Amino acid sequence: MGVAGAVVLSLGGSACVEEPHEPNWLFQGKWIDIDGRDRSADETCGGTFAYVDAYAGALAVEFGVTGHLGPYRWYSPEQYAAELPCDDAVACYSPSAQCIHSRQLPDIHEVVHMAAFAAVRCPDVLGEGLAEFYDSGAGLDAQTRNLDLLAALLDAPSFPRGSDEYGIVGRFAAYLVEHFGVEAVLDVCRITDRFPDGPALAAAFKSVLGMTTKELLADFELELGPSCNRFRNYQSRVFACGAAQAAPDLGLVSVDGEHAIEETFTLDCANDIMIGPLDDKMWLTRRFDIDADEIYVLGMWGEDGAEIPGVELTLVKCEPCAKVLSGPGPFIGPMDLDAGRYALELHAPADFRGRVTVVVKH
């Protein structure tokens, strides 16, 4: 859920089967199906459906889920306004019906809810935090000054409301997963279920994590700071960096120069590699590995010197509080990169059409 939706409930009680409805299946995948409510497949980029399914699969691996997750009902703005499936919310996931309602695609925040609820029912403060942390790019920054808001949500567990609370619960979820592992966080949820009081949540933290709520908050506070409070630094990037290795692989870049990346992508919303559009942007995500700490050449340019207005490359190492390297093209130059797994994204205006080459080599 984006900023506008953060002020309202995203876990709704609406059901996908409450009224007679003939599904308009636009896509039926291994993990998730897309039901177009006054929507057609040509209203999204060619790779969006497969991306939503693959992202759901990556989340399922993280949460230990093996079965099909359910339908994603994708509404036109007019149909959403007519039906109001989530009351005042811009999107919601219905746990009882195991169904997502949303006007936008992809809405990964709600997909996280769908996958997480297939594993366990979490208290809202943890469930919304996980949905922020595992989101693909629409999450909110955390503010150190909002630590008191988090403390209040943990002392008297309730639903986060507003961007300030969503930012801090997302950052807290990142802290918990990075220090204790996602399975430990889910174990806390298994003990508490969805509606614990403050003492019950504190007892679960102590039992599973070995720390009380107060101790966790004190430790968490030590990690808060500008370099890791921004969503783009603390987010999980599970699609490229998770155990499922869901993002397409560009391969290994080796220090001996025998293995390098030089890939040309056709950026066109109709292409089945492209995802979106959201906020008039489309994108693709890839992963690759580097085998040694060294200086590498990183470059991006258009075909035959063509202009690539609005095209931006983002490179992030798969590690907590990662440094985000991002910039518009064209460019080429040296870059210090450490060994390990990387997530690579190309973003472009939704109406861009052109070929873009990306190079990473020693």
Residue-level pLDDT at 18:
52
Between CA 264 and CA 142 the distance in angstroms is 36
The residue to which tokens 């095209």 are assigned: 311
On whether the CB atoms of residues 76 and 101 are closer than 8 A, the answer is: no
Token pair of 251, please? Answer: 């391969």
pTM score, whole prediction = 0.94
Query: In the predicted model, is pLDDT for residue 15 greater than 70?
Result: no
pLDDT range class, residue 305, cuts 50, 70, 90: confident
Distance CA 266, CA 213 (A): 49
Token output for 267 = 């950026």
Backbone φ and ψ of 250, nearest 5° = -85, -10
The pLDDT assigned to 19 comes to: 58
pLDDT level of residue 21 (50, 70, 90 thresholds): confident
CB-based burial label for 229 (10 Å; 0-12, 13-18, 19+): buried
Residue 169 pLDDT class (50, 70, 90 cuts): very high
The percent of residues in the chain predicted with pLDDT above 90, rounded, is 89
Instruction: Count each helix (H run) and each strand (E run) in the chain, helices first.
Output: 12, 15
Under DSSP, the state recorded for 144 is: G
pLDDT tens digit sequence for 126-145: 999 999 999 998 789 999 99
| Residue 48 scores a pLDDT above 70 | yes
Asked whether the predicted pLDDT for residue 250 surpasses 60, the reply is yes
| Vertex 113: Cα angle to 108 and 117 (nearest 5) | 150
DSSP letter for each residue of 296-359? EEEEEEEGGG---TT-EEEEEESSTTPPEEEEESSEEEEEEE-SEEEEEEEEEETT--EEEEEE
Q: How far is CA 362 from CA 5, 62, 294, in A?
A: 44, 33, 8
DSSP letter, residue 277: E
The Cα–Cα gap between 252 and 2 comes to 34
Which residue has 């008039």 as its token pair? 280
